[in-house]
Amino acid sequence: MQGKTVVVMGVANRWSIAYGIAQALVREGASLMLTYQAERVKKSVEDLARDLGGASVHWCDVSQDDSIAGFFSQLQGRALDGIVHSIAFANKEDLDRPFLATGRAGFSLALDVSAYSLVAVARAAAPLMTSGGGIVTLSYLGATRVVPNYNVMGVAKAALEASVRYLASELGPQQIRVNAISAGPIKTASARAIKDFSSILDQVAARAPLRRVTDTAEVADTAVFLLSPLGRGVTGDVVFVDSGYHILGI
């Protein structure tokens, strides 16, 4: 990844999957630009950027078109080689009660932040990816299977995975590849709040073919592969990095 510039969106703290991906990209020689959602996390993202050997840090709230436009306009004239989209959000109450209770506003919010944002970001980034490039997003098994409490996030991930295919089809002629990594459960800030998360991790460790839970570093290495020339033949796909859990019937 030497000489390549990658935008990493979704670092909030050192447990973020995006931070693990950023570390692996730096190890492979990439230059990084990190984006953060809100003032609340700016300071900690700046500290993490220093630990990464000096990535630049920029505000980009993907729920606001102006914020996306503002961030990418700062990059005019600079070539981009990759984007990591590691962002999701739903109202906590929609992950705590039956899916049937999901209201219009909560459904719209989850799909907007977690799925539409990939389309908006890809549209803004594509003109800067003048030598082609890679876009990687993060998904979860709940996109295609029913996982208790995942609810509206599952519907959002289904939309995200379909968006990956449509974007890959349209951006392929420009040699821009678009893929998702479906990661197994990892104890990040977005997962910590989920009730019984520890028992989900125990189940995966007991039953997955590899008999262990997914490590952020494993997800990160697959992201590097997909963004690098090693992944040059792969687009529009969902690659599972989940200890093989998704192959199980019972």
Task: Draw the binding track, 55-94, toward ligand IMJ (x: CB under 6 A; -: no contact).
Answer: ---------------------------------xxx-x--
CB of 98 to ligand IMJ, least distance (A): 13
Is 140 catalytic? The answer is yes
Task: Draw the binding track, 164-203, toward ligand NAD (x: CB under 6 A; -: no contact).
Answer: -------------------x-xx-xxxx------------
Q: How far apart are CA 203 and CA 192, in angstroms?
A: 16
Contacted by 200, from ligand NAD, ligand IMJ, none: CB < 5 to 8 Å by type: ligand IMJ
Catalytic option among 19, 150, 166, 245:
150
Alpha carbon 26 to its chain centroid, in Å, reads 17
Beta-strand ranges (E) seen in the chain are: 5-9, 31-36, 56-59, 82-85, 133-139, 176-183, 238-241
Q: Is 137 helix (H, G, I), strand (E, B) or coil?
A: strand
What are phi and psi for residue 233, nearest 5 degrees?
-95, 5
Return the residues of window 178-217 that contact ligand IMJ according to CB under 6 A.
Answer: 185, 190-191, 193-194, 200
Measuring CA to CA, how many Å separate 64 from each of 53, 67, 122, 221, 238? 29, 5, 15, 30, 27
Is 245 catalytic? The answer is no
DSSP state of 115: I
Contacted by 149, from ligand IMJ, ligand NAD, none: CB < 5 to 8 Å by type: ligand IMJ
Q: How far apart are CA 49 and CA 209, in angstroms?
A: 36
Interface residues toward ligand IMJ, by CB under 6 A: 88-90, 92, 95, 140, 147, 149-150, 153, 185, 190-191, 193-194, 200
Interface residues toward ligand NAD, by CB under 6 A: 10-12, 16-18, 37, 61-63, 86-89, 113, 138, 140, 183, 185-186, 188-191
